[in-house]
Amino acid sequence: MRLRILCLMTLVAGGGRVWAANGNALTADQRRQVAQLWDMAEIRQHPLEPEKISTRTVPFLVAGVNDWMNTGDAWVAKKTAKPSVAPSAPTSRDEQLLVEDYYYSSELTPQGANRIYCAIARPAKASGPQPVILVFHGGGGHASGALALAIARRHPGMAALAMDYNGQFASGASRVTQWKNVTHERKFELVPDLRNWAMYHNVTAARRALDFLTTQPWADTNRFGVVGISYGGWVALFLAGVDERVKCVTTAFSAGGMEGTSGRGAQQLRWEPAEQRALWLAAYEPLAYAAQTKAAVFFSLATDDLFFWLSGAERNLAALPGPKGWLLRPNCNHGAGGPELPDMSPAAFMRHVLADGPALPGFQGLEIGKDGISYAWKVTGTNPIARAILNWSPGKPVSPGRYWIEFPATRDGDRWVAKIPGEFRTLASVAFATVINPQLGAVSSMLIHHDGLDPATQPGPQWDGNALWDTLRGAAAWRVPAPTTPATVFEFMPPAGIKLGPAQGGKKFCLLSNSVVLGSGVATQHHGVHLRINGNGHAGVLNVGLLRDTNSMDEQAYLAAVRYTAGSADYELPWSQFKGSATAPNQLWPFDALRLEGARPDGSAVRLEVIEFLH
């Protein structure tokens, strides 16, 4: 067994230049621009000019839900709403929250000042200054009173400020930021002006929000926290990296570490001109600011996120010098798919840092035993652990193409121990542990990497019965591919099938399993894929795809279409029937996903009674 050593991106000075990890050099002038990028002296010469545009009071406790995630970003996959859960109850069931809407000025441009919209929710009868949490929505969201309320209700006794930065996508709309120098264009032109990217203006506006809060008597200026959702997580990480007033950061489905990944969050590294990429890495990659971040940081992440890869987030977390932690949601892509896990831990982490609440559990080591199948770890802290699990992923696929299997752990003295099946000990793998406290939520360990055989490219151990996919775990082997794909309902049909169809009100479905990674290495020993499809009274077309580098910018898809009848029938898909794009390699393996998609105009389900290798 050999553990992988993390390699962090660094900027190394030498010969009047700064070298980014990809080998591109920065000139002395560019280095000066990076050093001076976040100097606020000139910007602060212009007054904030705050304007209150509305105020109202609402109850703290409300019936229904606190859907803070979806309120903050339409791109994050919607989930079934759950009752609101807070780390601790408010002092009174009659407590009221005051909600205020403001505009304030950020940078002054030749066309006038950027007018930033924000909404504030705070306890109406607080006895003194209170901690304030800034919340930054995702790339598909906007700030609103509803978002500020959701965060204030999630953090009792604290105020929340939701700042908008997507006004360029809502021209003429009310209660959005009125930009003078930010357009809907997401690309950058960093030469000659390094400030010519939206993130600079977003973070500068956030710093001005902190300036505004320092003028408010109800705000405790020594206890500022930040919550960032998706793209907003980058705003949060940048803000903490350049402004020491931030004491705590929690992110939802967001992290840095883009270099060396092909995630959607790394697309800037493929934009032209190429000479600007080193500038972007030095100035606008969150990892570049990690080492100087003094705030405590907690990531809540999806293991298979198509924007922010786990492999990059691992580097980002390791580079942070202060208190830190994360929660990893296995088989989840930016909120789509994966098991339900209690999401109180980011709020509990924030309460611990800003309000001396109880600390989350910690980890002391995660080790693989000499037998190659036992994983053991210790949990630190005094709070009881209700459940502990090991999440284990075979092979070497890209981060968003991994398949994670859950193995329960048991207590052995002062350690927790989980075991994987003995036949898997030879496989390359990645694993992490997660422990759950009923009051505080779930926390995950750092990753542990094990070198070995890659089952996608070499014959190795197979699923029970040499199945194409992990039939032993049934429905847990499948997930909705991405937050943008059609909402799909599905259930396992023993011994080797899936019933799937559109979610209520939909007409399309899409489902994916990365468990086929074990089958990839033995694909040449078979002739293709055999399906038994029952149209459940309606004929249709099923599109079957074998994917390589799933959900990355380099994804290759090999597709075959099956026209099925209204009844039950068998269909054979030889490998030759799977066709790739004009640029795809001729050979369809290795593959790391099997995708099933189609339409059911009446909204009914289709039954795939058998999904197996064609022998």
For 176-229, the DSSP string reads S-B-SS--S------SS-TT-SHHHHHHHHHHHHHHHHTT-TTEEEEEEEEEEE
Q: Is the pLDDT of residue 429 over 80?
A: yes
Beta carbons within 8 Å of 582's beta carbon, 6+ residues apart: none
Residue 347 lies in a domain: no
Q: Same domain, yes or no, for 21 and 160?
A: yes
Count of C-beta atoms within a 10 Å radius of residue 591: 26
Residue 558 lies in a domain: yes
CATH number of the domain to which 429 belongs = 2.60.40.10
Residue 301 lies in a domain: no
Q: Is the peptide bond before 421 cis (omega within 30 degrees of 0)?
A: no
DSSP class of 479: B
| Extended beta strands in 350-466, E state | 362-368, 374-380, 387-394, 405-408, 410-412, 415-419, 429-437, 441-444, 448-450
Return the minimum-mean-pLDDT range out of 79-83, 109-113, 564-568. 79-83
Give CA–CA dist 220/158, Å, rounded. Answer: 10
pLDDT digits (tens, 9 = 90+) for 181-221: 887 666 678 888 899 999 999 999 999 999 999 999 999 99
Residues facing residue 596 across a β-bridge: 511, 544
Band (71; pLDDT cuts 50, 70, 90)? low
- Interior/surface letters 60-95, b for 16+ CB within 10 angstroms, e for the rest: beeeeebebbbbbbebbbeeeeeebebbeebeeeeb
Give CA–CA dist 65/83, Å, rounded. Answer: 5
Residue 353 lies in a domain: no
Residue 355 lies in a domain: no
CATH number of the domain to which 205 belongs = 3.40.50.1820
Nearest to 443 by CA among 392, 376, 386, 374: 386
Average pLDDT over every residue of 65-86: 53
Where do runs of H (alpha helix) occur along 412-532?
517-520
Average pLDDT over every residue of 160-172: 82
Q: Same domain, yes or no, for 70 and 185?
A: yes
Residue 322 lies in a domain: no
Q: Same domain, yes or no, for 583 and 474?
A: yes
Would you state the pLDDT for residue 89? 46
- Cβ atoms of 546 and 395 within 8 Å: the answer is no
Q: Between 66 and 440, where is the model more confident? A: 440
Would you state the pLDDT for residue 610? 97
Q: Is the pLDDT of residue 94 over 90?
A: no
Residue 358 lies in a domain: no
Average pLDDT over every residue of 379-397: 94
Band (60; pLDDT cuts 50, 70, 90)? confident
Helix (H, G, I), strand (E, B), or coil: what is residue 520? helix
Domain extent for 431: 364-450
pLDDT digits (tens, 9 = 90+) for 442-491: 999 999 999 999 999 999 999 999 999 999 999 999 999 999 999 999 99
Count of C-beta atoms within a 10 Å radius of residue 386: 12
Q: Same domain, yes or no, for 235 and 97?
A: yes
* The amino acid at 181: N
Tokens of 322: 């202060």
Q: Same domain, yes or no, for 405 and 476?
A: no
Q: Strands 130-136 and 112-123: what pairing?
A: unpaired
Return the minimum-mean-pLDDT range out of 161-175, 280-294, 300-314, 599-613. 161-175
Q: Is the pLDDT of residue 419 over 90?
A: yes
For the chain, give the mean pLDDT: 89
Q: Same domain, yes or no, for 390 and 533?
A: no
Q: Same domain, yes or no, for 524 and 382?
A: no
CATH number of the domain to which 483 belongs = 2.60.120.430
pLDDT digits (tens, 9 = 90+) for 214-265: 999 999 999 999 999 999 999 999 999 999 999 999 999 999 999 999 998 9
Band (20; pLDDT cuts 50, 70, 90)? very low
Domain boundary among 388, 416, 450: 450
Q: Same domain, yes or no, for 100 and 164?
A: yes
Give CA–CA dist 212/197, Å, rounded. Answer: 23
Band (7; pLDDT cuts 50, 70, 90)? very low
Q: Strands 159-163 and 130-136: what pairing?
A: parallel
Give 217's Cβ-side CA count (13 Å radius).
3
Band (343; pLDDT cuts 50, 70, 90)? confident
Would you state the pLDDT for residue 294? 97
Would you state the pLDDT for residue 538? 97
- Cβ atoms of 8 and 320 within 8 Å: the answer is no
Share of the chain above pLDDT 90, in %: 76
Residue 252's H or E segment, with its range, is strand 246-252
Residue 97's H or E segment, with its range, is strand 96-109
Average pLDDT over every residue of 61-84: 54
Domain boundary among 393, 422, 450: 450
Would you state the pLDDT for residue 271? 83
* The amino acid at 317: L
Residue 351 lies in a domain: no
Q: Same domain, yes or no, for 181 and 138?
A: yes
Q: Same domain, yes or no, for 538 and 419?
A: no
Would you state the pLDDT for residue 586? 75
Q: How far apart are the first and last CA of the chain?
A: 35
**Interhelix angle 276-284/28-36, nearest 10 degrees:** 30
Residue 32's H or E segment, with its range, is helix 28-36
Give CA–CA dist 371/417, Å, rounded. Answer: 13
Q: Same domain, yes or no, for 493 and 607?
A: yes
Give CA–CA dist 210/118, Å, rounded. Answer: 12
Domain boundary among 249, 272, 294: 294
pLDDT digits (tens, 9 = 90+) for 116-156: 999 999 999 888 899 999 999 998 888 999 999 999 999 99
Q: Same domain, yes or no, for 429 and 481?
A: no
Split into its structural domains, the chain has a count of 3
Would you state the pLDDT for residue 27? 86
